[in-house]
Amino acid sequence: MKIAQIGESILQQVATPVVEFNSVNLIEFIQAMLEQLKRSNGVGIAAPQVFDSRAIMIIASKPNPRYPHAPDMEPLVLINPAIKSTSVNKVKDWEGCLSVPGLRGLINRYEWIEVSYQDVAGKIYQVKFDGFIARIFQHEFDHLIGKTWLDQIESTADVMAESLWRETILSEIS
C-alpha cells in the first residue's frame, strides 16, 4: 500500500461516503490501512492517503519514534465521520503527516470536538475527543475534505523541517 504524497490529486478531493458495510472488501481494506499505519509510525491515517476515495479514517495513537509522547489507545476505525460540535478555544501544536514527509507544521486546532461516525457494521456512534486525540481526528478529517495541514498553517514561520523539529522542539519536551 503506497502513501499519497503532497501534490497528488486524491489529497485535494472530498471523500465519498461508505454505503456498503460489513463487506470483505471493506474489512480487508481497513486491515491493510492499519498495517500501513503501523509500518509508517503514524498515529492516524485516512483512506485518501492510500489512494482510496472512501470516507474512512483510523486513529491509533501510541508512542512511537515520530510521536514519542503520544497517548496510548487502541486503533479506532471511523467511517463517514462528521463533526457535531467543537470547543470555542483552539490550541496550537506541531503536526506531521505521512503525506507531507520531512516537514512539521504548527497548527491551530479545536481543543475538543464531538463527532459521529459509523463502524464497519454501519452502527452509528457519537463521541467526544479532546487534546491530542482531537488533534488527530481533525488532521485526518481534513484529508476527507481534500485538505492537508499545509492548508491550515497561518504563516510559513509555522513550518519546520522535521529534522530541525526533532533537534529543537522534540528535545525540549523530552
Q: Active-site residues: which are they?
A: 140
- Find cell 452502527 and name the residue: 123
144: its cell numbers: 476527507
Determine the Cα–Cα distance for residues 67 and 168; give it in Å rounded to an integer. Answer: 14
How many of the other CB atoms lie within 10 Å of CB of 127? 15
- Report DSSP state, residue 50: G
The residue type of 70 is A
Q: How do beta strands 56-59 and 159-161 pair?
A: unpaired
Q: Put the strands of the sheet holding 103-110 in their side by side order.
A: 90-95, 103-110, 159-161
HSE-up (13 A, CA, CB side) for residue 170: 18
Give the residue numbers of the binding site: 97, 139, 143
